[in-house]
Chains A and B, each alone.
Chain A
Amino acid sequence: MSLQRRLGLGIGASLALVLLAVWVAVGWSTRRLSEDYVASRLEHDAESLLAALTLTPTPTLNTEAVSAVYRRPYSGHYYTVATGSLVLRSRSLWDETLNLATAGEARTARLTGPRDQTLLIYARRYTRDGVPVDIAVAEDLAPMERSIDEFQRALGLILLVAVLLVLAGTRLGIRQGLAPLDRLRHEVDRIERGEAAGLPSGAPAEVAPLVEAINRLLRLTAQRMARSRTALGDLAHALKTPLALILQTADDPASATAAPARARLRSEAERIHALIERELSRARVAGAAGPGQRFRPADDVPALLEVIRGLYADRHLAIAQSVPARSYAVDREDMLELLGNLLDNAAKWAHGRLRVSVADAPDLRLCVEDDGPGCSGDELAQITGRGVRLDETVPGSGLGLSIVRAIVDGYGGTLTLSRSEALGGLRVEVGFPAHPG
């Protein structure tokens, strides 16, 4: 269940409950107040009737003194005045009677009157010149109840709108309150794509500790990775100088060591070197771009071609390139290592022309072609195996491809070798799965 729904439900339910209670209470007290008001008016009317009553010679009412509504038939306003056996009734009652047992004490009650009207009745026994006079005054409550009902309906509607408004407000508030988390997620995505090294500061106080914790974790991971990479790299590099010395001794024909022993020394030193290079490159393969730099073919490929031209300066290689201007979320060093090895290999075999192209259709694709002798079908199948050397006379050709393979595997990419249509030699294509950004 989402945070937004949970908060919305809690706030909505409690608010609806409170407003329902308010609605009921307001309705009840409005009804109550109105009835009290009607009752006190009836009391006043009863007293006016008493004042309008003349007992002698026969009890008569001065009807001019009482309100006109009592004379209109079934107007909803009625009275009866009883003294002794004589009962005076309002004209509005027509031929109906008010069924009221006058008990002496003043009281108000509801009863059903003529035409099924709901009447509020006020009855009281007065004493006039020693003669008991029972007066009952009644009023139809229906019009008042109708307007109370109307009011309550309107109130209910207003409260409902209020609930909906509050719910919408809460939803908006929550969404805005959670927006920093959403931004955080985008930032984390950017880190994954290698566009950022850490989360930006300036998050709201509630989120800031989380941001800080994530940044700490990132720093720690990067440090550990750097440390282990550095340690491994340092060891491997430190081994290379003594190895160079061993090779030099093995190469030196003037050395006192016998030729077979020197050959053995040389081959073992080369094996150690190959092992070091393989492990070094495997450790170097970072997989998805972490805090490293992004690969920008438009800058990196020309720089790499400078190296190839420098290393093969005597060969006057014609190298064509086609690279896009955008950058990719893969580690620059990995891509340089990959392309460097492919280009080095191509340059060794090429007669004079190379072609390197980078494309995204839709995945990142790197392609290196040469105009060298190329490979047969069997060789193509064999060449991608680890450390397989096809030609021992061209140094390092096996190792280079095994490094390429390690990098491709590290990214879950594909390595395809085929015949170059354009140049006639070997064509190596590396494809990487689609990377966001």
Chain B
Amino acid sequence: MRLLLVEDDKGLRDGLTQALHGAGYAVDTADNGIDAEALGHVEPYDAVILDLGLPRRSGLDVLRAWRSRANKVPVIILTARGAWHEKVDGFQAGCDDYLAKPFHVEELLARLAALLRRSSGQAGAAVTVGELALDEERQTVTTAGGTTHSLTGTEFRLLRYFMLNAGKLLSKSRLTEHVYEYDDDRDSNVIEVYVNRLRQKLGREWIETRRGQGYIFRNPVP
């Protein structure tokens, strides 16, 4: 899952980036409204964490600009403006969740995970596909037999993206875009390596290869 974090306070931005990395997200950051809007238009983010009091362009304007171009990326507003009429403004501008500062990092992570699950059509409090259950906090996966496998950071990110987009044909480049950050060295061949590692842990049948097109993650026992 690749996120855009828009926050002008450097201390908070760095701290949050670290916490989000820790939770297995790829994070791009922007510290002003203009850059944020441009990034949001171009990059295929899975979610955006948006501060409202931004230099150069207010967060609400950025959000409205995205929505007016039918960009439906899930957005959590993270702002010091916590009055209810401001929340109303935020939701009317098109945000999906709203968290007032100061906040606990766990709450942000919980809300972010819930938002991603909702936006991929997953109901409930955990990401599941068939018998497969992903524990986002511990970054582990439990298979049908009840065996729990721990996952490395990249494995976790890749598997979560697969599980939240189950049944869809995902190209290597799309997987790269959503698993890695903007600045990372993107080598799509690395994806093959991680897909193989996941197959070893889950079983080959979960991830189908479409030659020249990409991968489909699906429940082998429908």
What residue in chain A is nearest B95 (Cβ atoms)? A310
Is B97 in contact with A310, judged by CB distance below 8 angstroms? Answer: yes
The minimal Cβ–Cβ distance linking B5 to chain A, given in whole angstroms, is: 13
Is there a chain B Cβ closer than 8 Å to A284's Cβ?
yes
For B98, give its contact among A269, A277, A310 (CB under 8 Å): A310
A241-B9, A244-B102 in contact; A307/B84 too (CB < 8 A)?
A: yes
CB neighbors of B among A284-342 (8 A): 284, 300, 303-304, 306-307, 310-311, 313-314, 332-333, 336-337, 339-341
Q: A307 to B91, Cβ gap below 8 A?
A: yes
Is the CB–CB distance between B80 and A241 below 8 Å?
yes
Q: Is B80 a contact of A237 with CB atoms below 8 Å?
A: yes
Contacts A303-B88, A310-B91, A310-B96 given; does A246 touch B102 at CB 8 Å? yes
Chain A residues with CB under 8 A of B170: none
B87:A340 contact, CB within 8 angstroms: yes
Given contacts A307-B88, A333-B83, A341-B84, contact A313 B105 (CB under 8 A): no
Cβ-closest chain B residue relative to A340 = B84
A409 CA to B149 CA in the complex, in Å?
57
By a CB distance below 8 angstroms, the chain B residues around A241 are: 9, 12, 80, 101-102
Given contacts A245-B12, A310-B91, A311-B98, is CB(A277)–CB(B82) below 8 Å? yes
Q: Is A215 an interface residue (CB 8 A)?
A: no
Q: Is B209 an interface residue (CB 8 A)?
A: no
> Are A251 and B11 in contact, CB atoms less than 8 angstroms apart?
no
From B98, B101, B102, give the contact of A307 (CB < 8 A).
Answer: B98
Closest chain A CB from B45 CB (angstroms): 19
Which of B15, B81, B88, B96 meets A249, CB within 8 Å?
A: B15
* Residue with the highest number of chain B CB atoms closer than 10 Å, among A248, A333, A337: A248
Q: B12, B87, B90, B114: which contacts A248 (Cβ < 8 A)? A: B12
Across the two chains, which residue of chain B brings its CB closest to A338? B84
Contact B98 A252 (CB under 8 A): no
CB pair A244 B103 closer than 8 Å: yes
Q: Does A247 contact B (CB under 8 A)?
A: yes
Report which of B91, B100, B118 forms a contact with A314, defined as CB distance below 8 A: B118
Q: Identify which of residues 95-138 in chain A touch chain B, using a CB-to-CB cut-off of 8 Å.
A: none
Give Cα A303–Cα B87 distance, bound, in whole angstroms. 10
Q: Which of B85, B90, B97 contacts A332 (CB 8 A)?
A: B85
How many A-B residue pairs have C-beta atoms within 8 angstroms? Tell me: 96
Interface flags, B99-128, vs A, CB<8A=1, else 0: 011111110000000110010000001000
Q: How large is the interface on B (under 10, 10 to 19, 20 to 34, 35 or more residues)?
A: 20 to 34
Q: Inside 8 A of B92's CB, which chain A residues have their CB? A: 303, 306
Query: Is B216 interfacial (CB-CB < 8 Å)?
Result: no
Most buried by A among B9, B95, B102, B104: B102
A251 & B104 in contact (Cβ 8 Å cutoff): yes
In Å, the complex CA distance between A339 and B125 comes to 28
Contact status A314-B114, CB under 8 Å: yes
Say yes or no for A273: interface residue by CB 8 A criterion. yes
Q: Is the CB of A273 within 8 A of B102?
A: yes
Chain A residues with CB below 8 A from B115, complex form: 313
Residue A243 at the chain B interface, CB threshold 8 Å: yes
**Within the complex, what minimum Cβ distance (angstroms) separates A284 from chain B?**
7
A297 to chain B, nearest CB (A): 13
CA of A306 to CA of B98, assembled, Å: 12
Residue A386 at the B interface, CB < 8 A? no
B133 at the interface (CB under 8 A from A): no
CB distance from A191 to the nearest CB of B (A): 22
Please tell me if A240 contacts chain B, counting CB pairs below 8 Å.
yes
Asked whether any CB of chain A lies closer than 8 Å to the CB of B53, the reply is yes
Is B114's CB under 8 angstroms from A313's CB?
A: yes
- Which B118-146 residues have a C-beta within 8 angstroms of A? 118, 125
Interface residues of B in 163-209 (CB under 8 A from A): none
Smallest beta-carbon distance B104→chain A, Å:
6
Q: Does A238 lie within 8 Å of B80, measured CB to CB?
A: yes
Nearest residue (CB) in B for A306 is B91
Distance in angstroms from A227 CB to nearest chain B CB is: 18
Residue B16 is within 8 A (CB to CB) of chain A in the complex? yes
In the complex, 16 of the A-B residue pairs with CB atoms within 8 angstroms, ordered by the A residue number, are A238-B80, A240-B80, A241-B80, A244-B101, A246-B102, A247-B105, A248-B12, A252-B15, A252-B105, A303-B88, A304-B88, A306-B91, A307-B88, A314-B118, A337-B84, A339-B84
> Closest 5 A-B residue pairs measured CB to CB?
A340-B84, A240-B80, A244-B102, A237-B80, A243-B102
Chain B positions near chain A (C-beta within 8 angstroms)? 9, 11-12, 15-16, 19, 53, 80-85, 87-88, 90-92, 95-98, 100-106, 114-115, 118, 125
Additional 18 contacts, C-beta under 8 A, given A310-B98, A339-B84: A237-B53, A240-B80, A240-B100, A241-B12, A243-B101, A244-B12, A245-B12, A245-B15, A247-B102, A269-B102, A306-B88, A307-B87, A310-B97, A311-B87, A311-B97, A333-B84, A336-B88, A341-B84
